[in-house]
Structures are given as C-alpha cells and as structure tokens.
Structure 1
C-alpha cells in the first residue's frame, strides 16, 4: 500500500487527528466501495474528472474509461493524478445529541468517509490489458453470487466488440490520505443518539457513526 499520510500541506486532505481512518481499514474501505473519481490535469491546465470502477492491486489502482470520453486522451502518461474514493455520508441533526437537552450548544454537521490516493497515472490502450482488467473486475463483483456470470460466458466475438469502446488506466499509488468523520469527538450518549436518528431516517448507522 502507498504511504498513509495525513499532512497539513495545502494540497492534502484535511484530516483532524480525531478523524484519522485506521490505516488497517483503508484498503478494505477502498475495496468495498470499488469506485473512484479519477482527477487529472491536462497539458492546458484544465482538470478532468471521471467516475470509474476500480481495483486496488498491490501498489496500483486500476480501472477503465469509455473511449468516447475525451478524458483519457488528455492524460499525460506519468503525470500526477488523484483518485477520490467516497463512502456513505449523511447530514447529522443537532437534535439527535443527548447534550442538546443539557445546554443546547450543538450545531449540525455531516458525517462521511473518504480516501485520497495520489500518484502517477498511465493510459493502457491495449486490448489484452483491458480484457484482463474487465475479467478481474467482473470476478470481483460476481463472486458473491450463487451463479456468478463470467466474461467467458458470452461469445468471444461479442466480448471483443464490447472491449473496443473502453480504455484502461492505472494509478501508481504514491501516497494515501484517509478520513473517517464519524462523530468520534462526541460523547457515547451523543453517538448513540446519532445512530438512532440515522436509523429513524432509514439510514444504516454502522458506516456513519463510530460505535
């Protein structure tokens, strides 16, 4: 895994000490979300961003873009890039805090988890590379099913036809910044109130408030 960093540099993710994600939880978090916003900057200085399915394999984040998406043509191989992986998020009402009844000194906030992966990006306009990636992505998401679908289930010529409109991309991960803002700075009673409030709103509190 890339170096887990939580520096205060201007280009870094803002992470207060009590919102640092457990380093052992970072890779499982990225693997469970399995998508990212890939952000790059072209030679003209204009930023591009594309949402894409990803796999984190060793020290690389890999994914693919539509060939019709001009983003991949604007990527300069070896240039810096940022991949943003976000988990569930939710508005937190101050009315859920137990301390509201005690002194009323409470305000709204937002809970969320996010990981920033930075490194060097590379385009893979290669049919074999893309086919391997699509096969691994498919296996990753189909494996929990009782009857998983496999790339090999479809006719070979049909698969080749559907691979042509996509292009691969990889990010060599050089640094990782991870934040989990889950009411860690609140009392046990306040966190319990947040969990109950989220549940009443139909949200699963397990990924939105620390127990």
Structure 2
C-alpha cells in the first residue's frame, strides 16, 4: 500500500481497535492465477494484533476459497472505514489562494499472512464460539452458541470451514487531513460535524480532532 510518511500509523493499539470495530475484511488471494476477493469478519485471538499473532474467521464449505488454506497460501486482508469525501470548500485557505482540490479521507489496514484451514469440529466450534462472544459482547442480552439446539449447531458446523491467518506484515494508513494546516483541519471538522446524519463523517471528524498539538502553519 502506498503510504506517505505523514499518513503512516504504527500504534498497535489503534490498529487493533480499528479492526475490532471494523472486523469485516476483504481477503484477496491468488486462486489458480486469478485474484479472488471474499468478505469475511476476522477477529484477533488475543490482545493487540502484531506480527506473529493470529486472526480467525470461517466461510461456507461451498465457498472454495478455504481450499487455499489447505495449501498454506499467502493472502492479503484489507480493513477500511470512515471513508469521507473532503470538499475544498471546507478549507479557510480556499478563500485566500484557491489552490485547493477535493480529496478523500479514510482509514485502512492491510495485513499479509499465511492462511490455514480448520476442518475438525472442535476447532470450528471454538472459532464460532469466539466470534459470537466478541460480536455479541455489546448487547444487553447476548446470544450464545449454546442457545441453539446441539444437533442444529452440529449441522451448521458441518457446512462451514474455519480459517486462521498467521499475521506476517501490517501496514496502516490514517489519511485524516494531516497534510493541511491546523485551521483547514478545523474547517474540515466543522464541515463534517454539520453532516450529523452520516456516521462516517462524524467518526472522521473525531480522528482529525485527535491529531491536536500541531502548529497552525504545519503543512507536513
């Protein structure tokens, strides 16, 4: 991924939290010479995501993508969010120089790793249990795998394959107006917060505001 230095993010906690709140990853793999993409929710097994840690998910057995896990092939996972159009009209400097253009702000994490397929019932049950507990954790009355009849769960498990990704490389890009002076960033924040019905705009405003502490003339 192309990442100018001022957009590079390296904080493991921020990266891990972002994936936790945006778990649907686009998994890109080379299948018989063709690039194939599948959207799967991935979760970290423990703590912050780092090189050497593992992410888990599962897919339908009818989806042949899991077969690349049997061959221990390399894949790319892409997580993204807070995608927001930024208008030149948001910048106070527009009125002074008019030397501004539109852009798009976003957060994105690319993870390269080796995929493994999990086919035994115990392993698949564990993956489903962990994913369910994490996804349901914020609900007042969380659903649990044990809420469903045992024979039904066994039938469902027979129709999926678990996948596990060993993390080998992490790249994170936080494109949140760092290349604009502080007053332009404030203009973007104000503009985005005016769009209260758009959660992406509001989250992006928070990300830009979190920059803080930069000189008003900072152009880095």
Question: Shift of the alpha carbon at 1:126?
Answer: 2.0
Any gaps of 5 or more consecutive residues in structure 2?
A: 47-52, 210-220
Q: Distance in 1 between matches of 2:80 and 2:71?
A: 25
Aligned match of 1:119 in 101, 113, 125? 113
Aligned match of 2:6 in 6, 18, 35? 18
Which stretch has the larger CA shift, 64-73 or 115-124? 64-73
The CA RMSD measured in Å over matched residues stands at 1.5
Which stretch has the larger CA shift, 33-42 or 67-76? 67-76
Aligned match of 1:35 in 14, 24, 37? 24
Residue in structure 2 matched with residue 153 of structure 1 by the alignment: 147
Question: Shift of the alpha carbon at 1:178?
Answer: 0.4
Question: Shift of the alpha carbon at 1:75?
Answer: 4.7
Question: Shift of the alpha carbon at 1:76?
Answer: 5.1
Q: Distance in 1 between matches of 2:175 and 2:202?
A: 13
* Residue 55 (structure 2) pairs with residue 67 (structure 1): no
Aligned match of 1:103 in 66, 73, 97? 97
Q: Distance in 1 between matches of 2:10 and 2:67?
A: 36
Question: Shift of the alpha carbon at 1:77?
Answer: 2.3
Question: Shift of the alpha carbon at 1:132?
Answer: 0.6
Aligned match of 1:207 in 187, 195, 203? 203
Question: Shift of the alpha carbon at 1:111?
Answer: 0.3
Aligned match of 1:51 in 17, 30, 39? 39
Question: Shift of the alpha carbon at 1:31?
Answer: 1.5
Q: Distance in 2 between matches of 1:148 and 1:74?
A: 33
Question: Shift of the alpha carbon at 1:96?
Answer: 0.8
Aligned match of 1:139 in 126, 129, 133? 133
CA shift digits 1:52-85 (9 cap, x unpaired): 1111225011111111112223555222111111
